[in-house]
Amino acid sequence: MKISASLRLTSFALAALLAAPLAAQAQNIAIVNGKAVPKARVEALMTQAVKSGQPKTPELEQQVRDEVVLREIFLQEAEKRGLAATPEYKQQIEFARQTLLIRELFADFTRKNPVTDAEVQAEYDKYKGQSGGTEYRARHILVEKEDEAKALIGQIKGGAKFEDVAKKNSKDPGSGENGGDLDFASPGAYVPEFSQAMVKLKKGEMTDAPVKSQFGWHIIKLEDTREAKFPPLEEVKGQIQQKLGQQKIGEFRDAIRAKAKTDYKFSTLN
């Protein structure tokens, strides 16, 4: 038996109508009080969660789905109570709009002006050049009075161990309990009076006279020296990228502010 063309068309139309609700359901995760909650909200919230560092797991996805549906329930209740029309709500919406738009301004700039590998390499080379030279491992004993320092120098020259004297007498809480050990550092890490006296010493030598600084009187002993070490690029690349990115954002921000016409006087340039 042959089916007429009109009957076939009617059958196709009926099948399409029956399939339509199923297609619509596939795009939604729930119906709340007759209103559909689209899956797109789940996908958007999942993207935010993953960007914030959370691992994408079935448990997280379920939590996000729960959150999306709960938001719809609470949203409908708030709208039913007319809260969207209150001045307080409208003010908060305006603040949120400003914050999001300004954030997008800087995000857009970052996307269009990424830190390049060449910029990272140049910054790395600059740091490496500045960090070259010799590092010194010294011990010191810090006291308040010159006479006290001279007396301790006498004790050490008389046979007392520098480390023991430092533990007992040094006023420096950071190194005193470690026998005065300051570990390896460049001369620039210390106040000038200290570093000038330290670099004149040979390994194993101690200053014959106390060294005065803003902190008090120092007795310095040089333990060792070495060529300054610098980490490989791979270890510090992320830090350099972050620093350069912040610099670019700062320059972009300052350029926008500089060209703005306003009679307002900022209290700071930050």
- Two tokens at 36? 């559909």
Order the strands of the 134-143 sheet from edge to edge: 181-185, 134-143, 216-227, 211-213
- Comparing 14-23, 161-170, 182-191, 203-212, the range with the smallest average pLDDT is 14-23
pLDDT band at 31 (very low <50, low <70, confident <90, very high): very high
List Cβ neighbours of 212 (8 Å cut-off, separation of 6 or more). 146, 193, 218
Residue type, 242: Q
Per-residue pLDDT for 12 more than 60?
Answer: no
* Tens digit of each residue's pLDDT (9 = 90 or more) over 54-72: 999 999 999 999 999 999 9
Alpha helices, DSSP H, located in the chain: 5-26, 39-51, 58-80, 87-112, 117-130, 146-157, 162-169, 192-198, 233-259
Looking at every residue in the chain, the average pLDDT score rounds to 89
Q: How far, in Å, CA of 166 to CA of 180, rounded?
A: 5
- Single-letter amino acid, residue 249: I
Query: How buried is residue 119: exposed, middle or buried, by Cβ count under 10 Å (0-12/13-18/19+)?
Result: middle
Helix or strand holding residue 219 (H, E): strand 216-227
Angle at 106 between CA 103 and CA 111, to 5 degrees: 120
Cα(135)–Cα(124) distance, rounded to whole angstroms?
Answer: 19
194, amino acid identity: F
Q: Of the ranges 130-134, 162-166, 180-184, 247-251, which one carries the lowest mean pLDDT score? A: 130-134
Give the sign of the dihedral formed by CA 59, CA 64, CA 67, CA 68. negative
**Please, how many CA atoms are within 13 Å of residue 123, restricted to the half-sphere of its CB?**
18
